[in-house]
């Protein structure tokens, strides 16, 4: 048994079929619709098609209709789905639902799984994950968590404000992270709560206008004001929320990377196609050295990102929290995808900034990924600290 980089045949087949589905079904639909944000009808249409093609929700277990893909398997399939901005939605592997399914599968009670995971995996409802808070609350620093949940008779009362809650508007339920011990600035203890849509104590305060526009349901500011939930709304154990957040965040970082890597490849394909056609100064664009340099650097970025994702996924699949390798993978990938899209747009020139190709759209969509799920700087800080600790412990030997 030694290093082997070939995916299992079943996964390879699923990835191949996903690529074909995206090319034949999703991209034509994406071209037809002008606005960035898909409608509920489009979501239904796409998901029905994916279901018919046997590609739906491939990451959840067979008991929920999926293929039980491990992280390495997701790496192969989600990259193909991500080739279109709508591909992950079609396969029901888009954020935040995909990460929520992962979390629920790992942590929820059987009853909670029936009530929340099953319809979510089936695409019958959507969900959101309410962790991030406006400054000075929880963002890069989770210990700054300010939303509080207090025990009441028979349950909990949540008060606080969240923002950048993707997909909150129209979500069937929200997983809300609230402080249940300690105070803002401490680690203390946090708990995750399942809050049903329609709870009168939870309101969408506003849609936040953002540079990106393609996330289904957008990004909302949510207010929890005397939001009462019963005891069985607790997901997992009380005060264990920070730990569960890691269960969700490590893999979720990687699945984000996989999807955005698909967009990077799409951008590179547009650029290389253009470079193969367009004549300039008596040469094909693709024969000009500065264009070749951009194309090559993007090939390198894509290959390096894929290698880092695979490494982190393999570690996660071994049961390792993979904190260092997911942070490395996320940071590199977020920056690399951005560079690839930027170069592709540059290669296409004026065409690139026009709506005739989707590169301006891609640029807008991938820019926030250098901030969402932890800004590159926060990850670098954590990466460096681990490197320093490793060195210190080697010296101490």
For residue 159, give the nearest of 238, 236, 100, 222 by alpha carbon.
222
What is the three-class DSSP state of 127? strand
Binds a copy of itself (CB under 8 A): choice among 114, 186, 269, 321: 269
Q: Token match 């996660």: residue?
A: 316
Are 355 and 256 within 8 A, CB to CB? Answer: no
Rounded-to-integer distance, Cα 287 and Cα 275, Å: 8
Give backbone dihedrals phi and psi of 192, rounded to 5 degrees, phi first. -100, 135
Q: Is residue 387 involved in binding a copy of itself (CB under 8 A)?
A: yes
Q: Contacts with a copy of itself in 134-163 (CB under 8 A)?
A: 135-136, 139-141, 144, 163
- Secondary element (H or E) of residue 189: strand 189-196
CB closer to a copy of itself out of 115 and 161: 161
To the nearest 10°, the Cα dihedral for 97, 99, 101, 103?
Answer: -140
Q: Is the peptide bond before 29 cis (omega within 30 degrees of 0)?
A: no
| Residue whose CB is less far from a copy of itself, 28 or 185 | 185
| CA–CA dist 233, 176 (Å, integer) | 10
Decide: is 293 part of the binding site for a copy of itself (CB under 8 A): yes
Q: Does the footprint of a copy of itself cover residue 186 (CB under 8 A)?
A: no
Residue whose CB is less far from a copy of itself, 22 or 104? 22
CA distance 92 to 86: 10
297 binds a copy of itself (CB under 8 A): yes
With respect to a copy of itself, which residue has the nearer C-beta, 157 or 380? 380
Q: Which of 268, 316, 344, 366 is the binder for a copy of itself (CB under 8 A)?
A: 268
Identify which of residues 47 and 331 has a Cβ nearer to a copy of itself in the complex: 331
Q: Which of 7, 61, 65, 119 binds a copy of itself (CB under 8 A)?
A: 7
Check binding of 173 to a copy of itself (CB under 8 A).
no
Residue listed under structure tokens 């996924």: 313
Q: Which stretch binds a copy of itself (CB under 8 A): 44-52, 58-66, 123-131, 274-282?
A: 274-282
Part in contact with a copy of itself (CB under 8 A); list of ranges 37-45, 57-65, 252-260, 297-305: 297-305
Count of residues engaged in binding a copy of itself, rule: CB under 8 A: 96
Q: For the packed helices 359-366 and 323-348, what is the interaxial angle rounded to 10 degrees?
A: 150
Q: In a 3-state reduction of DSSP, which class is residue 287?
A: helix
Q: Does residue 74 bind a copy of itself (CB under 8 A)?
A: no
Q: Quick one: 110 or 279, whose CB is closer to a copy of itself?
A: 279
The CA-based dihedral angle spanning residues 332, 335, 341, 345, taken in that order and rounded to the nearest 10 degrees:
-140
Q: Which lies closer to a copy of itself via its Cβ, residue 34 or residue 62?
A: 34
Residue 72 interacting with a copy of itself (CB under 8 A): yes
Burial class (CB in 10 A: 0-12, 13-18, 19+), 86: buried
Closest CA to 189 of 177, 180, 198: 180
Q: Contact between 5 and a copy of itself (CB under 8 A)?
A: yes
Please say which residue, 55 or 308, places its beta carbon nearer to a copy of itself: 308
Contacting a copy of itself within 314-373 (CB under 8 A): 314, 324-325, 328, 331-332, 345-346, 349-356, 360, 363-364, 367-368, 370-372
Q: Provide, rounded to whole angstroms, the least separation between the CB of residue 52 and a copy of itself.
A: 24
Judged by CB under 8 A, the stretch of 79-87, 166-174, 238-246, 283-291 that binds a copy of itself is: 283-291
Is residue 160 a contact partner of residue 178, using CB atoms and an 8 Å limit? Answer: yes
């Amino acid at each position: 048994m030694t290093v082997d980089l070939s995916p299992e045949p079943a996964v390879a087949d699923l990835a191949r079929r996903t690529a074909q589905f995206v090319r034949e079904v999703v991209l034509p639909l994406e071209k037809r619709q002008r606005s960035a944000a898909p409608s509920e009808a489009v979501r239904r249409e796409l998901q029905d098609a994916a279901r018919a093609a046997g590609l739906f929700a491939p990451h959840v277990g067979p008991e929920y209709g999926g293929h039980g893909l491990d992280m390495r398997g997701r790496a192969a399939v989600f990259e193909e789905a991500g080739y279109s901005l709508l591909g992950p939605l079609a396969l029901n592997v888009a954020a935040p639902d995909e990460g929520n399914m992962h979390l629920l599968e790992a942590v929820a009670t059987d009853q909670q799984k029936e009530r929340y995971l099953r319809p979510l995996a089936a695409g019958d409802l959507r969900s959101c994950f309410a962790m991030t808070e406006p400054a000075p609350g929880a963002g890069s620093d989770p210990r700054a968590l300010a939303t509080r949940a207090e025990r009441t008779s028979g349950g909990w009362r949540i008060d606080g404000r969240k923002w950048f809650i993707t997909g909150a508007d129209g979500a069937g339920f929200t997983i809300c992270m609230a402080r249940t011990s300690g105070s803002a600035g401490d680690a203390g203890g946090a708990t995750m709560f399942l809050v049903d849509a329609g709870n009168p104590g939870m309101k969408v305060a506003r849609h936040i206008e953002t540079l990106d526009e393609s996330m289904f349901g957008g990004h909302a500011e949510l207010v929890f004001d005397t939001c009462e939930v019963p005891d069985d709304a607790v997901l997992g154990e009380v005060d264990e929320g920070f730990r569960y957040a890691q269960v969700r965040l490590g893999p979720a970082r990687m699945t984000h990377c996989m999807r955005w890597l698909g967009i990077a490849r799409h951008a590179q394909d547009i650029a290389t196609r253009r470079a193969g056609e367009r004549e300039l100064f008596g040469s094909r664009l693709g024969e000009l050295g500065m264009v070749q340099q951009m194309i090559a650097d993007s090939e390198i970025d894509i290959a390096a990102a894929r290698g880092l994702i695979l490494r982190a996924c393999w570690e996660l699949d071994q049961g390792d929290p993979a904190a260092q390798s997911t942070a490395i993978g996320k940071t590199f990938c977020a920056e690399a995808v951005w560079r690839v899209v930027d170069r592709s747009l540059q290669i296409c020139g004026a065409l690139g900034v026009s709506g005739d190709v989707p590169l301006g759209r891609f640029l807008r969509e991938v820019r926030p990924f250098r901030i969402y799920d932890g800004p590159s700087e926060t990850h670098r800080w954590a990466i460096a600290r681990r490197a320093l600790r490793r060195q210190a412990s080697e010296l101490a030997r």
